Structure 1
């Protein structure tokens, strides 16, 4: 013989599965975000590797006056495209066409000033609104190196060592890994991966509480030989089931896409294994239960279906507040973060994606941080449902 809460659970789950349109929209949302995230990161990788693969195209006016500069540009995989002299309007039009990353205009008196050891002018034209910032910096570095070489040669010609102008030799050593560098970028989008926990079960939670109250079927259900906690538990589990399914599907799909992308080529990484993902899904189980319990509780406190919708729309944004506050305040990872629902799951996934060793306490705190509030919301909803005035909304 089935327990009473199981009967209520199967009944509510069956009614939820009949709403194919809502389930289809939820499935579309669950699949859409990982795909969009994968596409955006793919475009980021493409922009990062395109200069190395295709080279940099630079237009030059007056290239014959600086042959050594042209040689240095070609050594840095910068293709030189010699063009005829043009006015400012024509230069702007050329840059807006995005055919070249920048344009160098060498002054007509460049050779004369160079021979006379006077500053020889070179104009660097670029479009700051185009996606050529990295390529423009490469051209700028070549020009700076060219200028330094000339200055060093002139100092040697006068018997002065070029080292006199560089009293400090500064060397940079970057100990950061791809995982740590990608923590800020990828970590900022991890919160959305847990959105299905609060979105996929909201329809079932509202319909089984506020909806049944409007249809007057909640009174009939309470007249059955079942205790309030059994009724609430059945509705709670029915709302948590699609939330758990949507959350697991989103995490698995996102992990598959991020593992497939060549993020290393853009200086990023995704160091999560399938074992780590399974642990994340396991400790995220209470998050779906907490979201469903909160939605059932708030829907029971609503007098109408529309009131429940408005209240839950606002309530679904609250779990993102701690993560947003941590991001704005730039707080470092601390143990207390694993006790805050939603923030704990996001923090755990971010640390694992960085390749950081996470101890068992973090998993335990993440699990308990959502499990205890979930049980508290169900207990409160069961207590509230004992009042006939509350159920009848009088």
Structure 2
């Protein structure tokens, strides 16, 4: 790295540090996103593992005392008036007792608006409880006739789970790794806009180009400055994640999410290539914009592309080609490392090299742009 590039890099970083509000706005994501996710995950896990009692309206419940007791053992109760009463009604058929005595199918009707999101979980629990009661009664009826209930289950499926506690996380683990990788794009975005469109609006970009520095040196310095803040955000988000995620009760779901030192080192190395790509992409788009606000608008949409690719690779139906693509390939490798699985080193290397090639192409494009007076002066 030449002395001029070092001087320009020092200047860019100094300017960025002076604007503490803009600097912290970019780093807030890295500092608070893991904490917010940990709180959300803890609340969701607590709600799933410790479900609240469901209070509903049960009509003609006196004719089905055993069913009512069965539902009560599973946290489903009848209430006439209650602040937590669900808008769900279970209607017991008028001939319920007689049909049960004759070993016939007794009718019950579950009345609810299934389009309401806050009722779906309760409806599912009630339906499962009713199906469980029906299965138990069917087995008892067969036993009373001297028939083994197993005759209705000709196939017994045994599943041997070969997954490890680290690999069971699935979608949640993918989400955690995705939030870590996104810090590279978000942490340096404000600096990318300020050092390109912002400098042009302040008329300091043309003044900077009037100094004895080449356009290439200027582009390299700005890219390295933005990338350095992306890497800083990556380090912060990993550090905060390593602290807060152990407090989430993952074991309630039978898995764990461990931010190991190996994962952090590989993420830092891989994330550095993504940081260069993010910086070059954001600077290129910002220079193309006519104003500071326009650059903010463009980057909001542009950043969605790598986000979508990164999220797509965490889905079950993701195509294998995404493992070789920029950003998504690195993300998949990091997910495999977090799960403790083997990953193709060659695949990761190809993905990183492709990312760097795209970055160099964007750098070359920026160099061409800054040789145009329309771009420099925003004409």
Shorter-chain TM band? 0.7 to 0.9
Aligned pair in 2 of structure 1 residues 28, 272: CA closer, same or farther (>3 Å)? closer
382-391 or 58-67: which moved more? 58-67
Spell out the pairing of 1:225-236 with structure 2 (5 A cutoff): 225-236=212-223
SS at match of 1:350: helix
The C-alpha deviation readout for 1:179-232, integer Å capped at 9, x for no partner, is: 555313442564343223222222222322333233332233222222222222
289-298 or 121-130: which moved more? 121-130
Aligned pair in 2 of structure 1 residues 179, 132: CA closer, same or farther (>3 Å)? farther
Whether 2:337 is the aligned partner of 1:352: answer yes
215-224 or 167-176: which moved more? 167-176
Whether 2:286 is the aligned partner of 1:299: answer yes
Spell out the pairing of 1:114-193 with structure 2 (5 A cutoff): 114-120=100-106, 129-130=118-119, 131-132=121-122, 135-136=125-126, 139-156=129-146, 161-162=147-148, 166=152, 168-173=154-159, 175=161, 177=163, 181-188=168-175, 190-193=177-180
Which of 358, 380, 383 is the equivalent residue of 2:365?
380
On the 8 A contact 2:193/2:292 being kept in 1, the answer is yes
The gaps in structure 2 that reach 5 residues or longer are: none
SS at match of 2:157: coil
On the 8 A contact 1:102/1:125 being kept in 2, the answer is yes
Whether 2:262 is the aligned partner of 1:262: answer no
Q: TM-score, normalised by structure 2?
A: 0.80
Aligned pair in 2 of structure 1 residues 116, 233: CA closer, same or farther (>3 Å)? closer
SS at match of 2:130: helix
Q: Distance in 2 between matches of 1:375 and 1:238?
A: 16
Aligned pair in 2 of structure 1 residues 3, 65: CA closer, same or farther (>3 Å)? closer
Aligned pair in 2 of structure 1 residues 220, 55: CA closer, same or farther (>3 Å)? closer
Q: Distance in 2 between matches of 1:305 and 1:56?
A: 53
On the 8 A contact 1:284/1:367 being kept in 2, the answer is no
Aligned pair in 2 of structure 1 residues 27, 389: CA closer, same or farther (>3 Å)? closer
On the 8 A contact 2:182/2:307 being kept in 1, the answer is no
Q: Distance in 2 between matches of 1:116 and 1:329?
A: 48
Aligned pair in 2 of structure 1 residues 299, 125: CA closer, same or farther (>3 Å)? closer
Which of 239, 260, 263 is the equivalent residue of 1:273?
260
On the 8 A contact 1:338/1:365 being kept in 2, the answer is no
Q: Distance in 1 between matches of 2:349 and 2:84?
A: 56
On the 8 A contact 1:45/1:265 being kept in 2, the answer is yes
SS at match of 2:194: helix
Deviation at 1:8, TM superposition (A): 0.9
SS at match of 1:182: coil
Q: Distance in 1 between matches of 2:153 and 2:243?
A: 51
SS at match of 1:319: helix
In our comparison, the structure showing a higher alpha carbon Rg is 1
SS at match of 1:318: helix
Deviation at 1:5, TM superposition (A): 0.9
Q: Distance in 2 between matches of 1:382 and 1:80?
A: 67
Deviation at 1:138, TM superposition (A): 5.2
Deviation at 1:19, TM superposition (A): 1.1
On the 8 A contact 2:241/2:259 being kept in 1, the answer is no
Which of 313, 327, 341 is the equivalent residue of 2:300?
313
The C-alpha deviation readout for 1:255-284, integer Å capped at 9, x for no partner, is: 443333221312443255221122112211
- Count of aligned pairs: 373
Q: TM-score, normalised by structure 1?
A: 0.77
The gaps in structure 1 that reach 5 residues or longer are: 84-89
Spell out the pairing of 1:313-352 with structure 2 (5 A cutoff): 313-323=300-310, 330-332=317-319, 334=320, 336-352=321-337
Aligned to 1:37: 37
Aligned to 2:85: 97
Aligned to 1:86: none
On the 8 A contact 1:205/1:299 being kept in 2, the answer is yes
Q: Distance in 2 between matches of 1:318 and 1:70?
A: 53
Q: Distance in 1 between matches of 2:83 and 2:110?
A: 12
On the 8 A contact 2:231/2:272 being kept in 1, the answer is yes
Spell out the pairing of 1:75-90 with structure 2 (5 A cutoff): 78=74
